[in-house]
A = this chain, B = another copy of it.
Amino acid sequence: MKSKATFYHAGCAVCVSAEHGLVDALDRGRVLVETVDVGQHRQRIAEAESAGVKTLPALVVDGQVFHINHGADLSALK
C-alpha cells in the first residue's frame, strides 16, 4: 500500500522552494502526494491543525508531521 503524504502550504516563497526542492523528490511510486494551499482552501485549515501542523510549509507523511523551514504560522491564516 502506498504511503500518503499531504503537503500543506500557503503559497509563500519558502513553501514554493520546499515544494520544488523536497516534495518533488519524493518517490511517487511509493508515496501518494497531495498538495493543499490552505490560503486558497481555508476549509482545510482545521484538518491541518488536527494533524499537528503549526507552521507552513509542512508535510504530513502517514500521520507524521514534518515542518520544513518556516514560511508562515498556520494560525496567521485563520
Task: List residues of chain A with CB under 8 Å of any chain B CB.
Answer: 3, 5, 17-18, 21-22, 25-31, 59, 61-62, 64-70
Cα of A37 to Cα of B67 in the assembled complex, Å? 20
State how many angstroms separate the Cβ of A33 from the closest Cβ of chain B. 9
B-side contacts of A3, CB under 8 Å: 25
Question: A27-B27, A27-B28, A28-B27 given as contacts; is B22 within 8 A of A66 (CB)?
Answer: yes
The complex places the Cα of A61 from the Cα of B68 at a distance, in Å, of 13
Tell me, in angstroms, the Cα distance from A70 to B31 when the chains sit together: 24
CA distance in complex: A64, B67 (Å): 16
| In-complex Cβ contact of A25 among B21, B61, B69, B70 (8 A) | B61
